[in-house]
Amino acid sequence: MTDDDFAGGRLTIDLGALADNWRTLAALSPASECAAVVKADAYGTGLDRAAAALAAAGAKTFFVAHLSEARVVRAAAPEAVVYVLNGLPRGAALAYAEVGVRPVLGSREEIAEWAGFIAASGANPAAAIHIDTGMTRLGLEPAEAAELMRGGGFGFRPALLMSHLACADEPERPETERQRSAFAGLRALLPDAPASLANSAGTLLSRTAGGDLAFDLRRPGVALYGSNPVAGRPAPLKPVVRLEARVIQTRDAAAGTAVGYGGVETLARPSRLAILSIGYADGILRAGGSEDGAPGAAAYVGDVRCPYVGRISMDLIAIDVTDAPASVGRGSWVEILGDHFGVDDLGRACGTIGYEVLTGLSRRYQRLYLG
């Protein structure tokens, strides 16, 4: 046996479900290519395994945040096109070209450095241009982009024009149509360049009243991993992660007993508690704990909901297993994430989003891969 066999948590990652989610999203707009965003260790699921599974499913284009991630994708999917979203660090052009990956350039300085590298090396490596249409984060201002396109271009032919949607997870917001319209107008200045706008929410939304969001390439991320970025709108996605926690002790406690740090929750009834061997050091955010009058997240034993009791500690969580089978005891496993309580459910219970839950999945868990 190895140390993994004694881990406090067991994380199962279903690569078959990941591949199926990509196929489902690809089918929503078949005239547009469906890429895969695999930054942040493929949203916590393991970049090398996830990239290989997605490539086998048919994904040909990948997006990461850093060059180190791009190297992993290049090893897992040698024929893939790989874009690095966080741009071009100063002096990194040769490294990008040697790995055969494409920076997403979002400033005049980055564009000038990339064009200078092309001129000096005689090579012609590909890159994307990022235009800010409303996120106010990375990218050229629309006026800057228009000036460069009208003034003779960037010093090279962009392999992709892209922008990023800020509010597509709230379909009623008018900003998405404003961004689509602005991006379409700028793309018209360079009509031969492939264009990309839709993220996960944009892929699921598909279009606004003004037109199609798909363009030539879509970039789903969190939806690949089973999280629905458009709250209140069903999405045909399969859960990719299942997390179970090991029970290390059970105990009976009387009504009125305070539980955990600060004693912020007192038991309303005589209760049986199970103490789990995971905590906020494992990505179960402290905000998911409970206190009197403010319930938190919940675990499941079979179909029985077992609410968290008191504050989440660094390495421990108390849950109420009074209504669960009496067989629950030391060495039992309970569901933290799965069919009953998904990443979006835990995100809501913690006052955050499924993205943060996924990307915070601990390396202390035993990891098991299916598919």
Averaged pLDDT score across all residues of the chain: 96
Q: How many CA atoms lie within 13 A of 367 on its CB side?
A: 14
Q: Where are the domains of the chain?
A: 31-225, 241-370
Judge contact between 337 and 242, C-beta under 8 A.
yes
Give residue 4's pLDDT: 87
Which tens digit of pLDDT belongs to each residue from 350-368? 999 999 999 999 889 999 9
**Stretch 231-251: mean pLDDT:** 94
For residue 152, pLDDT over 80 is answered with: no
Active-site residue, from 43, 225, 261, 369:
261
Q: Picking from 47-51, 102-106, 229-233, 346-350, which range would have the lowest pLDDT averaged per residue?
A: 229-233
What number of other Cβ atoms are within 10 A of residue 314's Cβ? 10
Judge contact between 49 and 84, C-beta under 8 A.
no
Which tens digit of pLDDT belongs to each residue from 73-131? 999 999 999 999 999 999 999 999 999 999 999 999 999 999 999 999 999 999 999 99
Give residue 291's pLDDT: 97
What number of other Cβ atoms are within 10 A of residue 339's Cβ? 10
Assigned CATH class of 31-225: alpha beta
- Identity at 88, one-letter amino acid code: L
What's the CA gap between 235 and 232, in Å, rounded? Answer: 9
**Percentage of residues of the chain with pLDDT beyond 70:** 100
**Stretch 29-37: mean pLDDT:** 97
**Stretch 181-192: mean pLDDT:** 96
* CA nearest to 142, candidates 78, 188, 194: 188
Active site residue 238: no
Active site residue 60: no
Give residue 177's pLDDT: 97
**Stretch 146-168: mean pLDDT:** 93
Active-site residue, from 39, 83, 225, 308:
39
**Percentage of residues of the chain with pLDDT beyond 90:** 94
Instruction: Identify the band that residue 1 occupies on the pLDDT scale cut at 50, 70 and 90.
Output: confident
**Stretch 318-343: mean pLDDT:** 97
Q: What is the 3-state secondary structure (H, E, C) of 298-344?
A: EEEECCEEEEECCCCCCCCEEEECCCCCCCCCCCCEEEEECCCCCHH
316: its two tokens: 């421990």
Which tens digit of pLDDT belongs to each residue from 267-276? 999 999 999 9
* Domain 241-370: homologous superfamily in CATH: Lyase, Ornithine Decarboxylase; Chain A, domain 1 (2.40.37.10)
**Stretch 16-27: mean pLDDT:** 98
For residue 55, pLDDT over 90 is answered with: yes
